[in-house]
């Protein structure tokens, strides 16, 4: 089942539990707007290249739409629709005043020079500047984009609308980016893990963790969890996978990966087959890479008691069922990885106020939001006698449905 089908399925199950009528259900599913634009630029060698840019704006009942812009050669419309919809429920679960959006450009950023990427970003912004905005749709970085991309969007948008730092988040600190944003998703994963373990009478300290994916989210989660006394016994990334049953020294691994661009060859652990990372013996598994990695083929072999979904849609519905029967507790993506969008919200708030926060305040506020989100999700689990995934979906869908009806849109 692809990401869109799985997201629609979870939405419909939540809708049934909430008893939403079919008209409201349909209006919540249909995106507010889908944008597709041609972006033509001169390349460094003088030739002309055309790319397709897009933005799916899913829902704005609770506030401006929010979501990443990705640069990737295989931008799949269904996946973007699914991710835009997921952002609607995720922002509602976190209880921040946003709706969902997602977008990007079908290109391979590794094959474009910095100046070509800048030209492409500026042309894309020229095409969509009237459709995004501080109180309309606030983009952020995603796969293949980063703070520099956001700086270009901010500059190009400001040519049309005046200086507007709040139009994008995930910016460089010097242009109004928030302290603590870089670590936010990983830190949110750590806070969510802490809340879940506390619920089961445990703490992070002494637990054995396996982390699939050692990019921004996985590496920050590993660093923060190890600082809390968690033992990271195996890690994988695009270069390979490593294991040390006595625990990997994460500080040394972070220094190694900066230099060697991957975990492969790290001498503080031995190499293992990257395909076996998900079924390694551990207490807590954190998939922090791609979607759909936990499926019916490997679900039975998973040994972890808890799965923390740091990636978007890492567990497909078949695997969900198998793991549920095994008694594995899954902390769902729309809660577990919401730290990033929560601190993006803090950045937006700071930009609108023109008053920047200390990093300690950012981290303290994030902890408050993650703990409150967990409590609200558990309440929905009790109300509807359901698992954490449905608890999160019913919480998010219910908040959006209520806002939709209150605004008189629930025809």
Number of H helices, E strands in the chain: 13, 12
**pLDDT tens per residue across span 34-49:** 999 999 999 999 999 9
CA 306 to chain centroid, in Å, comes to 19
Question: What's the confidence (pLDDT) of residue 4?
Answer: 81
Among 36, 102, 223, 243, the one annotated catalytic: 102
Give binding residues as ranges: 66, 90, 185, 216, 344
Give binding residues for NAD(+) as ranges: 185, 216
Active site residue 102: yes
Q: Kindly report the pTM of this predicted structure.
A: 0.94
Q: Residue 235 class from Cβ within 10 Å (0-12 exposed, 13-18 middle, 19+ buried)?
A: buried
Kindly compute the dihedral angle of the four CA atoms of residues 78, 81, 82, 86, in this order, to the nearest 10 degrees: 170
Q: Taking all residues of the chain, what is their mean pLDDT, rounded to a whole number?
A: 94
Kindly compute the dihedral angle of the four CA atoms of residues 349, 352, 354, 357, in this order, to the nearest 10 degrees: 0
**pLDDT tens per residue across span 157-174:** 999 999 999 999 999 999
**pLDDT tens per residue across span 231-274:** 999 999 989 999 999 999 999 999 999 998 899 989 889 999 98
Terminal CA-to-CA distance of the chain, rounded, Å? Answer: 31
Give binding residues for substrate as ranges: 66, 90, 344
pLDDT tops 80 at residue 410: no
Residue 69 CB partners (closer than 8 Å, separation 6+) = 55, 103, 104, 105, 139, 140, 141, 142, 145, 149, 153
Cα–Cα distance, 84 to 64 (Å, whole number): 13
pLDDT tops 70 at residue 56: yes
pLDDT more than 90, % of the chain: 88
pLDDT tops 60 at residue 411: no
**Could you give all domains of the chain from N- to C-terminal order, each with its CATH number?**
31-166 (3.40.50.10860), 183-333 (3.40.50.720)
**pLDDT tens per residue across span 96-115:** 999 999 999 999 999 999 99
């Amino acid at each position: 089942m692809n990401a869109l089908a799985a997201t629609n399925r979870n939405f419909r199950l939540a809708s049934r539990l909430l008893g939403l009528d079919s008209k409201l259900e349909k209006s919540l599913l249909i995106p507010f707007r889908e944008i597709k634009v041609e972006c033509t630029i001169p390349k460094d060698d003088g030739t002309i290249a055309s790319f397709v840019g897009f933005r799916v704006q899913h829902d704005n009942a609770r506030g401006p739409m929010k979501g990443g812009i990705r640069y990737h050669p295989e931008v799949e419309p269904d996946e973007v629709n699914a991710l835009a919809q997921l952002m609607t429920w995720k922002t509602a679960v976190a209880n921040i005043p946003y709706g969902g959006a997602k977008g990007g450009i079908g290109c391979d950023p590794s094959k474009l020079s910095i100046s070509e990427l800048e030209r492409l970003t500026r042309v894309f912004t020229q095409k969509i500047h009237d459709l995004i905005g501080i109180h309309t749709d606030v983009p952020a970085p995603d796969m293949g984009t980063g703070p520099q991309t956001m700086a270009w969007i901010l500059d190009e948008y400001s040519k049309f609308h005046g200086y507007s730092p709040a139009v994008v988040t995930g910016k460089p600190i010097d242009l109004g980016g928030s302290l603590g944003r870089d670590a936010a998703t990983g830190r949110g994963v750590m806070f969510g893990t802490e809340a879940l373990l506390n619920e089961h009478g445990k703490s992070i300290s002494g637990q054995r963790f396996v982390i699939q994916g050692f990019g921004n989210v996985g590496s920050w989660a590993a660093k923060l969890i190890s600082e809390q006394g968690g033992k990271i016994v195996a890690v994988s990334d695009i270069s390979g996978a490593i294991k040390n049953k006595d625990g990997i020294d994460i500080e040394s691994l972070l220094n190694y990966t900066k230099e060697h661009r991957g975990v492969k060859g790290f001498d503080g652990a031995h190499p293992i087959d990257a395909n076996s990372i998900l079924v390694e013996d551990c207490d807590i598994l954190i998939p922090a890479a791609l979607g759909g990695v936990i499926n019916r083929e490997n679900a039975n072999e998973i040994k972890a008691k808890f799965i923390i979904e740091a990636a978007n849609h890492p567990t497909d519905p078949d695997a969900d069922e198998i793991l549920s029967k095994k008694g594995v507790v899954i902390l769902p993506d729309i809660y577990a990885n919401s730290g990033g969008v929560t601190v993006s919200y803090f950045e937006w708030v700071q930009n609108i106020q023109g008053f920047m926060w200390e990093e300690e305040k950012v981290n303290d506020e994030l902890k408050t939001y993650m703990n409150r989100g967990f409590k609200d999700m558990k309440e929905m689990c009790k109300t509807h006698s359901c698992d954490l995934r449905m608890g999160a979906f019913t919480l998010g869908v219910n908040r959006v449905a209520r806002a939709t009806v209150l605004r008189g849109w629930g025809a």
